[in-house]
Amino acid sequence: MYAWGLLYVGGAVLEAEDGGADSSPILPCRADERAAHVVDYSVSVLPLDFVCETGDGDSYRAGEVPGYVTPTAIGFALAAAGLAVASGYVSEVRLRAAARAGGDVRP
């Protein structure tokens, strides 16, 4: 899911770096009324986003990355961590049960 968000950000960066005749204001930043004052952009890693920066020090999200990407990626990461802990717990329980039964204690 995080890689999916990186594709969105990468596409926005490619559009922003395109130096053609229609490159000002930065293409991904044009959806907002502050687009005329955009001087630069930055990429946020967590939450994954493309941020437009104006000349007066203000910034706003361009909305290039769908809102579901970061929460879903965090949910998947937490689920993976939980499954890793559960797997270790189940292995430990099986080893202890085998040891109590006098059986083979190999994992």
Residue scoring higher pLDDT (8 or 25): 8
Which residue ranges make up each domain of the chain?
A: 2-61
The per-residue pLDDT of the chain, averaged, comes to 86
Q: How far apart are CA 46 and CA 76, in angstroms?
A: 15
Q: Which two tokens stand for residue 64?
A: 């290039």
3-state secondary structure of 20: coil
Q: Please name the residue that has the structure tokens 């203000």.
A: 58
pTM above 0.75, yes or no: no
pLDDT digit string (tens) for 42-51? 998 888 889 9
How far the first Cα of the chain sits from its last, in Å, is 33
